Amino acid sequence: MIPEDYVWLNPLIYQKWLFTADKIERQPELLEIPLRNIERWIKMDRLGDVRALVIWREMIERAQASAEGFAELLAFLRDDGEYPRMLKSCSPFPGVLNDEELDQFACAWTH
């Protein structure tokens, strides 16, 4: 049986989130990418339960609206706690990192 937190046993996953947060901190305009993903996925009815996407959208919109909201989003992306892990399992951030950046986090056994 696979442990519930199996994906988090790989430290590269957490490092990828730290890298993503750092990139967004340098380039806040990248937040448009997850917002577009969220809207597209909701319209496509990609998930039956869209609550996680709604939470992400609210966090990202707060981040765009204020420095405080931006700091909160970055802190959340860098948080390795149970709730952030759960929400990150429904990540709207595909497209923020390019292929070269993603390759840094690919495990040897996935190639």
What are the boundaries of each domain within the chain?
Answer: 33-90
Against a cut of 0.85, is the pTM above it? no
Q: Six-digit token pair at 74?
A: 């970055």
CB 77 within 8 A of CB 21: yes
Q: What percent of the chain has pLDDT over 70?
A: 86
Residue 41: HSE in the Cβ half-sphere, 13 Å Cα cutoff = 22
Determine the 3-state secondary structure of 8 from DSSP. helix
Over residues 21-41, the pLDDT tens digits come to 999 999 999 999 999 999 999
In Å, what is the CA distance from 15 to each residue of 45, 58, 67, 76?
30, 24, 24, 14
